[in-house]
């Protein structure tokens, strides 16, 4: 069932990417970057697709007819789990680090830095000069750390942790302005105010539905749970409303 949900989320991601990759005058941009979910294993820019396997980063060029041509493969240490892109940066979530690559030249990603953390599952999203990483060890790794970490990435070569926030069982996450949405599996969705990264505070927890990954976009939240892919209106973060559900059979 989770595989089907992830497949639908990939379709949603591609749709958001296609919507974002053109300006109002029709010119192509890289504005689609960062529209994917935090647990994704691929990321798309206007001209390239980047995909991660356990020990590799693969680069594909998107051809004019929509076909993909593999143009590069970079060997990595085992344990790569997720990928996220923002502007000309790639952020890889691994079992023990957040790794940053510069993709100003998309065909040849350049290693920039590695931010180490405890061995855990670690989705990552980025906004401006901050990276938000969730570390979960309850079910996937042999330690006892379940928290959010906020990292200053203003200098990509020297990422610095600013703060952390304890959570129950964090999975995927998404950020929009001052709002951070953290999926906590069977514990539901946690909404945090991260305007001041040194003073994170809880807005509300929604435990009616399971939550595993999320994409916030213009007041609408796309969330994957055990029942399928749901849309929520979060214009009022204190009273999020479910708009629709695409059910996924077990």
How do the domains of the chain map onto residue ranges? 2-247
Q: What mean pLDDT is predicted for residues 181-185?
A: 95
Neighbours of 187 (CB within 10 A): 18
The predicted model gives 176-199 an average pLDDT of: 96
pLDDT for 125 equals: 93
pLDDT at site 231: 96
Which pLDDT score is estimated for 58? Answer: 97
Backbone angles phi, psi at 161, to 5 degrees: -70, 130
**Superfamily, domain 2-247:** YVTN repeat-like/Quinoprotein amine dehydrogenase (2.130.10.10)
Between 43 and 11, where is the model more confident?
43
pLDDT tens figures, 34-58 = 456 778 889 999 999 999 999 999 9
Beta bridge partners of 89: 86, 102
Average pLDDT (150-167) is 95
Rounded percentage of the chain residues whose pLDDT exceeds 90:
66
CB within 8 A of 155, min separation 6: which ones? none
Both tokens of 200, joined, read 């994170």
pLDDT at 26 exceeding the cut of 70:
no
Q: Tell me, what's the pLDDT at 38? A: 79
How confident is the prediction for the chain on average, in pLDDT? 84
Encoded tokens for 82: 């997720």
pLDDT tens digits along 127-143: 999 999 998 875 554 55
Q: What is the pLDDT of residue 135?
A: 87
Spatial contact of 126 and 185, defined as CB atoms under 8 Å apart: no
pLDDT for the residue 28: 32
Mean pLDDT, rounded, for 161-173: 93
pTM over 0.85: no
**Mean pLDDT, residues 90-107:** 94
* CA distance linking residue 200 with residue 185, whole number of Å: 21
């Amino acid at each position: 069932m989770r595989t089907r949900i992830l497949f639908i989320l990939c379709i949603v991601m591609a749709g958001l990417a296609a919507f974002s990759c053109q300006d109002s005058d029709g010119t192509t941009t890289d504005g689609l970057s960062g529209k994917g979910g935090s647990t994704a294993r691929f990321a798309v820019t206007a001209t390239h697709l980047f995909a991660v396997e356990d020990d590799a980063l693969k680069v594909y060029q998107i051809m004019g007819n929509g076909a993909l041509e593999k143009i590069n493969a970079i060997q990595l240490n085992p344990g790569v789990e997720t990928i996220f892109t923002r502007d000309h940066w790639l952020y890889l979530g691994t079992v023990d680090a957040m790794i940053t690559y510069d993709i100003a030249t998309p065909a040849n990603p350049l290693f920039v830095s590695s931010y180490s953390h405890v061995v855990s599952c670690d989705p990552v999203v980025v906004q401006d000069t901050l990276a938000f990483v969730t570390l979960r060890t309850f079910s996937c790794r042999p330690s006892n750390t379940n928290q959010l970490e906020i990292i200053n990435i203003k200098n990509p070569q020297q990422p610095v942790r600013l703060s952390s926030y304890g959570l129950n069982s964090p999975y995927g996450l998404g950020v929009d302005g001052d709002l951070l949405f953290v999926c906590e599996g069977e514990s539901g969705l946690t909404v945090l105010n991260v305007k001041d990264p040194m003073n994170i505070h809880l807005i509300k927890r929604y435990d009616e539905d399971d939550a595993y990954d999320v994409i916030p976009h213009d007041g609408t939240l796309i969330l994957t749970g055990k029942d399928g892919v749901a849309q929520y209106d979060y214009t009022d973060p204190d009273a999020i409303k479910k708009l629709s559900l695409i059910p996924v059979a077990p």
